[in-house]
Structure 1
Amino acid sequence: MDRSPRPLLVRSLSCVLVLGLVLLGACTGSDTDEAPSPSEQTTASPEPTTPAPPPEADAERILADISHLAETIGPRHGTSEAYGEAADWVEERLTGLGYEVSRQQVDAPAGTTWGVDVPAGDSPNVIADRPGASPTDPHVVVGAHLDTIPVAPGAEDNASGVAVMLELARVVAEAEVPVRFVAFGAEEPRGPGDALHHFGSQQYVAALGDDERAAITAMVALDRVGVPGPEVPICSGDSPNGTIEVRDQLAAAATDGGVPHTVCGGNTTSDHWSFDKAGIPAARLGSIPYAGYHSPQDTVEVVDPAQAGRVAAIMRGWLLENVASP
């Protein structure tokens, strides 16, 4: 019998050849297993991103701003140097939040403010807009008067309103909310009667062109919003040209946020009244009575930051629900 290993060697070489061809095919592919062309490749669509919701209002920030206005600056009647310092500070704060800030001259006459004679002069409104916004674009106005009577540090009246306004400006700075913030000058009376009151807001409304007036869909005044109380007052002016629509929207926002509140009408003692009389929908938050009203005792100690925070929460809800762009 021929026991030569040759047939085994042949078989082994054949196996190596077949294995090599298989491996070569795996590396180079075949006519029927080509890579897809770029036109045939599919790219997964990126997952849509949801913008982060605006931050909640911070009551401690509000209290810090009240302290600055009432303690660092102090009494600031509308034509005083202290009012100018306060206006500069508010402008700096709003500019730092990314707003475009301008000023509007407000001519305040000489007169008597709560028993103290005050000189005539300019008590400017400080106005903050979103970058690129036009006053003829539909928007709301959120305002708070910056002045005090001459003898009062004005923690509640009205550093509380200004501080809540500044916190709202921070909260919605990155949101699509068409809002203009205004720190009004010379709100405090310089004599008896409606004509000698609310100079900043009266002149603001008087200077509006027809298209600018039509662009304001609502106005809210924040005035005395920090003293403790069981509820947040939400009030309308109820002029013959006015409406309770904004008041009711704010009340609905309070209900949705679980904030105790009460509604009232016939409130004419803040800057919303200038808008209400002109037929622009307007309302006011604030006005709980307190012992230090228009006195040197209107200090930081009268303010409850939790109450100011509740007001800010109502306003945040209202701005995001009724004003924010879809």
Structure 2
Amino acid sequence: MRHLAVRIGPRLATGPGFRRAADWAAGELEDAGYEVRRQRFAVPAGDSWGVPVPAGHSQNVVAVPPGFDSTRPHLVLGAHLDTVAVSPGAEDNASGVGVLLALARTDLRARLPVVLVLFGAEEPRGPGDDDHHYGSRHYVAGLSAPERRAVRGMLALDRVGTGAVVPVGSATEDPPRALVRAGRRAGVPTAAETGQRSSDHWSFVRAGLPGLRVGSTPYAGYHNARDLPRLVDARQLDRVGRLVLAWLRG
């Protein structure tokens, strides 16, 4: 987390900071034994939380276990790597990336193979539903029909390092029961939210695929220059990691 928020800092999806972050994260995933590929995609110009930003290209970093078959049932665990233009993004979302990378180095013992994705360009460039989540929408759009059928669950980790209770969200009005149950198994307190569409899981749900989110606690550094590592609580990151492991293991 500190590497992203301190050494690299702001990671605008089309900027050099993001490219440095993607290169670093890809190396971390390769070192953990995953096969890594990049997905490059175009991002339009827009407004990044009050700052005009130019059009350009961003990328997803996709990591799969050796021998992975994308047409066989699997899970997707994702976190967005980018920030708004002015923020070093410790909580939003180096926290989610940090948990994902820590899990990459763990014996997951998941119920299904797990694809790890660091999404580019999650942050908004306008007010509409199609003005954000560019990387996850690109990922979903690139799936073939057999690959779509093979996605049995997607979980987005977004702003997961503050508070003492872990928010778990669904994009629909149905409660995220699987995450609540996982929290109970892991001994992690959760707060269930519905209608939660402000992260990359929404791209999956919009396309008819299963998707849920962990995270979203309000905090003072949201989308500003005060989003620094001191805001992130290591105990909360540990709780989130235990919850996610319980969900992956089913």
Q: Partners of 1:312 and 1:177 in 2: how far apart?
A: 17
3-state secondary structure, aligned to 2:130? helix
**1:45-85 CA distance string (max 9 Å, x none):** xxxxxxxxxxxxxxxxxxxxx11100010001100001000
Unmatched tracts of structure 1, length 5 or more: 1-65
3-state secondary structure, aligned to 1:124? strand
**1:288-312 CA distance string (max 9 Å, x none):** 0001100000000110010011000
Q: Partners of 1:316 and 1:172 in 2: how far apart?
A: 10
Q: Which has the larger radius of gyration?
A: 1
Q: Partners of 1:293 and 1:137 in 2: how far apart?
A: 38
Which residue of structure 2 aligns with residue 99 of structure 1?
Answer: 34
After TM superposition, what 4+ stretches of structure 1 lie above 4 angstroms from structure 2?
173-177
Higher mean C-alpha deviation, range 128-137 or range 230-239 = 230-239
Which residue of structure 1 aligns with residue 237 of structure 2?
Answer: 308
**Are the equivalent residues in 2 in contact too, given 1:98–1:173 (CA < 8 A)?**
no
Using the TM superposition, give the Cα deviation of residue 173 of structure 1 relative to its aligned residue in structure 2, in angstroms.
6.1
Using the TM superposition, give the Cα deviation of residue 170 of structure 1 relative to its aligned residue in structure 2, in angstroms.
1.0
- Matched residue pairs, number? 250
Q: Partners of 2:111 and 2:47 in 1: how far apart?
A: 43
Alignment of 1:37-76 (within 5 A): 66-76=1-11
**Are the equivalent residues in 2 in contact too, given 1:106–1:185 (CA < 8 A)?**
no
**Are the equivalent residues in 1 in contact too, given 2:108–2:248 (CA < 8 A)?**
no
Using the TM superposition, give the Cα deviation of residue 250 of structure 1 relative to its aligned residue in structure 2, in angstroms.
1.5
**Are the equivalent residues in 2 in contact too, given 1:127–1:180 (CA < 8 A)?**
yes
Q: Partners of 2:5 and 2:60 in 1: how far apart?
A: 19
Q: Between Structure 1 and Structure 2, which shows a larger proportion of helix residues?
A: 1
Using the TM superposition, give the Cα deviation of residue 230 of structure 1 relative to its aligned residue in structure 2, in angstroms.
3.2
Using the TM superposition, give the Cα deviation of residue 318 of structure 1 relative to its aligned residue in structure 2, in angstroms.
1.4
**1:17-67 CA distance string (max 9 Å, x none):** xxxxxxxxxxxxxxxxxxxxxxxxxxxxxxxxxxxxxxxxxxxxxxxxx11
Normalising to structure 2: TM-score of the pair? 0.97
Which residue of structure 1 aligns with residue 71 of structure 2?
Answer: 136
Q: Between Structure 1 and Structure 2, which shows a larger proportion of strand residues?
A: 2
Using the TM superposition, give the Cα deviation of residue 274 of structure 1 relative to its aligned residue in structure 2, in angstroms.
0.5
Using the TM superposition, give the Cα deviation of residue 172 of structure 1 relative to its aligned residue in structure 2, in angstroms.
2.9
Using the TM superposition, give the Cα deviation of residue 106 of structure 1 relative to its aligned residue in structure 2, in angstroms.
2.0
Task: Return the letter of the residue paired with 1:230.
Answer: A
1:219–1:147 CA distance, 2 compared to 1 (3 A): same
Task: Return the letter of the residue paired with 2:4.
Answer: L
Percent identity reads 52
